[in-house]
Chains A and B, each alone.
Chain A
Amino acid sequence: MKKEAKSFSRGGLGQLTIPIIAILLLVIFNLIRDPSFFAIGFTTDNDSNLVLEGNLISIINAASELAILAMGMTLVTAACGGQDISVGAAAAIAGSAFVKIIKGAAIVDGEPVISGGRVFAAFLFACLVAMLFGSFNGMLVAVFKIQPMIATLILFTCGRSIAYWINGGATPNFHSPITKAIGGFIPGVPIPAPVLITFATFVLFILLFRFTSLGLLTQAVGINGSAARLNGINATFIKLLSFIILGVCVAIAGCIGTCRLELINHETLLIDVEMDTILAVAIGGNNLGGGKFKIGGSIIGAYVIQMLTTTLFAMKVSSTDIKAYKAIVIVLLVVMGSPVIKAKFGKLMMKIRDNKSRVSTKGAE
């Protein structure tokens, strides 16, 4: 018990200290500000389904894409020691590919008939396209040894234009009960579908780490690539794989984002998400220089960011001004997590403990 307390004062929950403290602070802040922030209730939506509603639900719902991207980004960060800044652009491409297949549906009585199989095929196609672009980034990073940020700058620059080109310059929309269910609520299930998809993705990742040695190999490559290679790990393949897995995450996020609006707008779909994703990974306590990682941390990081945004919205801050307040909170969080501050804090705690023990020994004498 004593040992645990000791390690906590030195930032002992390990990686998860900062994200958990951040969530606690936000919860406490909201409790003081307005306890009704946490109210959760049932309502019926337009299709007379019984669904959950409330700020917490909307936070968890809105953070779905961010959380999914953060999972993939964690893997890339751990393996390559750098970040992919093209996820937003790649999601726009994946979304456009998704819509391209959906729009190909046969038209009966002036209404396109979008079957479940077609949606699934569209999703698979989006995955394929995103994996292709992921492997392009991965090839640059793994084979040509280019810094990930620089390598993905290429797709960042031209990705949204490629999406624009796929759509032929328009913003096509589509309507179908299936896509509506993916972006909103599945009939009869009160939990938003994006949340379920996020959970499923998380479970897939957990299974991946449990039944393969991918997690271990990724850490080995991230900590010391050449040492890993000398130990017989194919570092190039691991890096490439991490980008391909991120590609799948991008496709899932892109499809959710598209289904939410039942519309693809290549300019605004998941705009600025790359910065938020990297932030989620950093708040999750993962070292942006690669090496050890915790997927869970990144997911909590994503929810921290969304909770912050929703809290600010609830305080009637306009959507364009939010960034300034967000920045202040981010700086506070990373300052708390900074190694220098941690070391100083640890020393301070030691001093207090020393003083205490001195006092107690004096008392004994």
Chain B
Amino acid sequence: MEKTKSFRREPLTDTQLLMVITISIFFVMYVMAMIFLQGGFLRPQQVFDMLNDNASLIIVSCGLTVVMIGGGIDISVGAVTSLVVMSCILFINAGGNVFLAILLALGIGLGFGVVQGFLISYLEIQPFIVTLAGMFFARGMTTILSIDPQKLEHKGFNKFRETKIAMKWLGYRAPNGNFIPARMEFGVVIALLCLITVFILLRYLRLGRNFYAMGGNQQSALMLGINVKRTRFASYVLSGLLSGISGFVLIMHTGAANATNAAGMEMNAIASSIIGGTLLTGGVGNVVGTFFGTLTLTTIKKIVVSSGLTKPWWQSITTGGMLFFFILLQSIVLGQRAKKKKS
């Protein structure tokens, strides 16, 4: 995509520039880790581990990116994910059908999306407050449903959950001589499907372009004849729906529900989107960047752990430092471009 752009000699848009920065920093970082830390970083399994652990975070971040491109914010995503996990596991354990549980997951996500979207776009209430209330509600409902940890007891589903896609050609030989193929969970496939769908939506469909127009300048979008209210509504519905899917993917990953499930996920998702080049002001961003943002965030944590800084405070301090670096970099880069444009 970058190639055709440079071929046409068009300058990169802000979105593309920030995305390119993120992706290149991710690769540089990963290669450095491969050279200096070696160990797990040399194996492809490391990448799959990161994907397996973060499939639901990737899905949630996609939804959040869409909302942020539209100039809004949705901090209820982590709590909705947690609520979906809890209610689906209780439903399945009570003898419910797994397919009905999927519908339940989608329904909860959609429900939150619709209510929040309605309040934000049609009643013009500040998105932060509405989604904050959504977060409180979802967290509260989770503990009302059950304060004790729950374990998934459906045998068939558990079996399906534990089957992983094995890739022999990416495997490695363990020190004891056993061959271990690279494993990937089904959740990752779902996450990638969501990512591709949102990517196509944002890039090729009218609704997706409307998100950018609305986030860039609401007044101009209105003048262009875009139904701003409906577009904003759609962005929150999409985010809610993706939270529902993410909840189900989290069940497939952990198989257990806990009142503190997905704690802090909303902030991780926001951080992923920001590192991936999405601006909270709206109009700039891309889900591919977000995907690499999530990977960057995880890689930093892995690097910190494997370089021997095992004290619990190091992870979050380095994550904070990394965020600081990216945020400052984006601010400076965009500031320079704005100056150039003016002159």
Contacts and interface: CB of A to CB of B under 8 A. Distances in A.
A239 interface: no
Given A157-B319, A158-B316, A162-B313, 13 more contacts: A147-B279, A150-B327, A153-B267, A153-B270, A158-B320, A288-B128, A323-B139, A324-B144, A326-B136, A327-B134, A335-B125, A338-B125, A339-B124
Contacts of A157: 267, 271, 316, 319-320, 323
A153 B271 CA distance: 8
Interface in B238-273: 259, 267, 270-271
Contacts of A150: 270, 274, 280, 327
A155 B143 contact: no
A324 B313 contact: no
A165 interface: yes
Interface stretch (A30-38, A118-126, A275-283): A275-283
B144 A145 contact: no
A83 B319 CA distance: 21
A320 interface: yes
Given A154-B323, A157-B271, A324 B137 contact: yes
18 contacts: A83-B128, A144-B327, A145-B335, A147-B279, A147-B280, A147-B281, A149-B73, A153-B271, A155-B320, A158-B319, A159-B320, A278-B129, A282-B126, A323-B139, A324-B136, A327-B136, A327-B137, A334-B129
A199 interface: no
Interface in B212-251: none
Contacts of A156: 267
Given A320-B140, A323-B140, A326-B140, A331 B128 contact: no
B158 interface: no
Interface in A152-170: 153-162, 164-165, 169
Contact of B141 (A169, A324, A335): A324
A320 B320 CA distance: 29
A156 B274 CA distance: 15
Contacts of B147: 318, 320
A108 interface: no
Interface of A: 83, 140, 144-147, 149-151, 153-162, 164-165, 169, 275, 278-279, 282, 288-289, 318, 320-328, 330-331, 334-335, 337-341
A160 B316 contact: yes
Main secondary structure of the interface of B (DSSP, over half): helix
Given A146-B327, A147-B280, A153-B274, A322 B129 contact: no
A153 B266 CA distance: 11
B44 interface: no
B27 interface: no
Contacts of B140: 320-327
B1 interface: no
Interface of B: 73, 119, 122-126, 128-130, 132-137, 139-141, 143-144, 147, 259, 267, 270-271, 274, 279-281, 311-317, 319-321, 323-324, 327-328, 331-332, 335
Given A321-B140, A324-B144, A339-B124, A161 B313 contact: yes
A309 B323 CA distance: 34
Nearest to B319: A157
A146 B331 contact: yes
A340 B123 contact: yes
Contacts of B137: 323-324, 327-328
B133 to A, nearest CB: 4
Nearest to B320: A158
B133 A161 contact: no
A161 B128 contact: no
B136 A164 contact: no
B309 to A, nearest CB: 12
B287 to A, nearest CB: 18
Nearest to A289: B126
A158 B317 contact: yes
Given A145-B335, A162-B317, A278-B132, A341 B144 contact: no
Contacts of A321: 140, 143-144
Contact of B331 (A145, A165, A289, A341): A145
A282 B128 CA distance: 10
A160 B316 CA distance: 9
B278 to A, nearest CB: 10
Nearest to B314: A161
Contacts of B331: 144-146
A324 to B, nearest CB: 3
A269 to B, nearest CB: 16
B141 A144 contact: no
